[in-house]
Amino acid sequence: MTHIYHNNRCSKSRSALEVLKNSGEEFEVINYLETNPDKEELEKLIKLLNIKPIELVRKNEAIWKENYKGKTLTDLEVIEAMAQHPKLIERPIVVKDNKAVIGRPTELVIDLLK
């Protein structure tokens, strides 16, 4: 089944959700700000995305700027920061089978569903 890590306040996330609704695919919405992904879940997502943990961080968030910007962090420390502050997680993330994309731009979601 396809999953979307979704934030309804984000226009890109809403666009990705529309793509899923229109695809006819079965999918599950994970409101990650309400059900914070733990370290293990984040590690799995990062592996599926094939990126470094820092690439999943929203670096313009106040939480990042105030607490982490300019510091040298290990991958684990970056993951722990996202687990503690899910607002830092880039969105939307769409997972299908053993692949995942950050749905910016939305075309990446369309390509994943093919």
Cα-based distances in Å from 60 to 41, 50, 63, 64, 72: 23, 22, 8, 7, 17
Pairing label, strands 99-102, 93-96: antiparallel
Mean pLDDT, to the nearest integer, of 14-26?
97
* pLDDT tens string 37-75: 999 999 999 999 999 999 999 999 999 999 999 999 999
pLDDT at 98: 95
The catalytically annotated residue of 1, 2, 6, 10 is 10
Answer yes or no: 10 catalytic: yes
What does pTM read for this prediction?
0.95
pLDDT at 35: 93
Distance, CA of 21 to CA of 54 (rounded, Å): 30
